[in-house]
């Protein structure tokens, strides 16, 4: 198994981390996860654009060209013979003696690895339970930073309560999942939080919104309160790794259940049609 360190493919066991990497001390870096279908990375342009946006928002320069980045990722997929799976890649700000104040003199450090796909049949078909809890994250959730402590803590809390995902609210307004976006369906209209600083604007979220509009569903991107969950007909989460997973029950600060509805199933089907054929 190979990984990429800076601009080189090397066997994973030969990879090293510099203690003075700001990613290690501060979580000072950004990342992306791209899904590979039938040997090809899906929605690569969108992921690269979001990576550049995250880098820009954190004042981290791009260490090498966009073209080089794409080429490296393709070469890793090929080297590890990934047919269906994920590519994870990140840039940290770079290596310098630990100090909150960064110098703008370090070179960002690039790392990438691949993973085989997990089997999604069960969760896509039968749905998941989710755990409603407080959004304890910072106010720049639009940046896809590797600093994910809030997300990590609520994910553990959800799992300890036998739920697959945490759904978060900030003072009673639903934002998103710990590693996914949330959609509600009511009378065939889709509802989801707008792409503000309070959520990560998921690539899957964006693809679903486009897809839904093209198929004449109305999509409302507005904040909504927690109790709207009780009145929705259907709910689902979206992310690169799970695509679309129906929610069958909400637990925690509010309890409610959903049928796995027609709109969710229709969007799942139409989303699959966007994907390279496996
Ligand atoms: N929100 C958060 C907090 C996430 O971590 C993710 C996935 N990494 C998403 C939403 C979904 O984004 P995408 O569809 O681009 O995977």
Domains of the chain: 2-116 (3.30.470.10), 121-274 (3.20.10.10)
- Which protein residue's CA is at the shortest distance from atom 9 of ligand 1? 180
Can you tell me the ipTM of this complex? 0.99
In ligand 1, the atom with minimum distance to the C-alpha of 203 is 15
By DSSP bridging, strand 256-257 and strand 243-252 are antiparallel
Our mutation pick for probing the ligand 1 site, out of 54, 86, 240, counting the most ligand atoms within 8 A of Cβ, is 240
Q: Which structure tokens are listed for 220?
A: 């409302």
Cα–Cα distance measured from residue 183 to residue 236, given in angstroms and rounded to the nearest whole number: 5
Atom of ligand 1 nearest to the CA of 204: 14
The arithmetic mean of pLDDT across residues 139-150, rounded, is 98
CA of 245 to the centre of ligand 1 (A): 13
* 148-190: pLDDT as tens digits: 999 999 999 999 999 999 999 999 999 999 999 999 999 999 9
| CA nearest ligand 1 atom 3, residue | 179
Contact by Cβ (8 Å): 28, 101: no
Q: How confident is the model at residue 276 (pLDDT cuts 50, 70, 90)?
A: confident
Whole-angstrom distance, CA of residue 253 vs CA of residue 165: 14
What is the pLDDT confidence band of residue 75, given thresholds at 50, 70 and 90? Answer: very high
For residue 115, CA distances in Å to 81, 199, 223 come to 10, 26, 34
What does each C-alpha distance from 56 to 81, 192, 195, 217 come to in angstroms? 32, 26, 17, 34
What mean pLDDT do residues 202-230 have? 98
Closest residue by Cα to residue 93 from 139, 128, 145, 133: 145
Q: Is the pLDDT of residue 109 over 80?
A: yes
Q: Enumerate residues lining ligand 1, CB below 6 A.
A: 33, 151, 176, 179-181, 200, 202-205, 238-240
Tell me the whole-structure pTM to 2 decimals: 0.98
| Contact in structure between 47 and 8 (CB atoms under 8 Å) | no
- Work out the average pLDDT over 133-140: 98
Residue 278 pLDDT > 70, yes or no?
no
Atom of ligand 1 nearest to the CA of 32: 8
Q: If residue 220 lies in a helix (H) or strand (E), which one and from where to where? A: strand 219-221
- pLDDT higher than threshold 60 for residue 32: yes
How many angstroms does the Cα of residue 54 sit away from the middle of ligand 1? 13
CA distances to 55, 72, 128, 201 from 108, in Å = 10, 16, 38, 24
Marked catalytic residue, from 13, 79, 144, 155:
144
Q: Let me know if 13 is a catalytic residue.
A: no
- Local confidence band at 277 (pLDDT 50, 70, 90 cut-offs): confident
Per the DSSP assignment, residues forming a β-bridge with 111 are 5, 90
* Mean pLDDT value across the chain: 97
Question: How far away, in angstroms, is 33 Cα from ligand 1 center?
Answer: 9
Closest CA to 132 of 246, 249, 9: 249
Choice from 51, 151, 181 to test ligand 1 binding pocket (greatest atom count within 8 A of CB):
181
Minimum CA distance residue for ligand 1 atom 12 = 202
* Residue bearing the CA closest to ligand 1, atom 10: 180
Q: Tens digits of per-residue pLDDT, 180-207?
A: 999 999 999 999 999 999 999 999 999 9
Q: What is the residue with the minimal CA distance to atom 8 of ligand 1?
A: 179
Q: What is the mean pLDDT of the segment spanning 60-82?
A: 97
């Amino acid at each position: 198994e190979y990984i990429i360190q800076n601009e080189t493919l090397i066997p994973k066991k030969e990879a090293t981390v510099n203690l003075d990497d700001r990613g290690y001390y501060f979580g000072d870096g950004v990342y992306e996860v791209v899904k590979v279908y039938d040997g090809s990375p899906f929605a690569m342009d969108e992921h690269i654009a979001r990576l550049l946006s995250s880098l820009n928002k954190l004042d981290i320069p791009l260490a090498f060209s966009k073209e080089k980045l794409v080429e490296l990722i393709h070469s890793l997929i090929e080297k590890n013979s990934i047919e269906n799976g994920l590519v994870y890649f990140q840039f940290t700000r770079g290596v310098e003696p630990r100090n909150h104040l960064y110098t703008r003199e370090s070179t960002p450090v690039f790392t990438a690895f691949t993973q085989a796909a997990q089997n999604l049949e069960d969760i896509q078909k039968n749905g998941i339970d989710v755990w409603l809890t407080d959004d304890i994250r910072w106010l720049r959730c639009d940046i896809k930073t590797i600093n994910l402590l809030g997300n990590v803590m609520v994910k553990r809390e959800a799992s300890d309560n036998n739920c697959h995902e945490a759904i978060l609210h900030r003072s009673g307004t639903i934002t998103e999942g710990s590693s996914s976006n949330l959609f509600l369906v009511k009378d065939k209209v889709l509802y989801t939080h707008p792409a503000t600083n309070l959520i990560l604007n998921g690539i899957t979220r964006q693809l679903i919104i486009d897809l839904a509009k093209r198929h004449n569903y109305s999509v409302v991107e507005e904040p909504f309160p927690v109790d709207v969950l009780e009145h929705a007909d259907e709910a689902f989460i979206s992310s690169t790794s799970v695509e679309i997973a129906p929610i069958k029950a909400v637990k925690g600060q509010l309890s409610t259940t959903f049928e796995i509805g027609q709109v969710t199933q229709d969007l799942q089907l139409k989303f699959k049609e966007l994907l390279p054929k496996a």
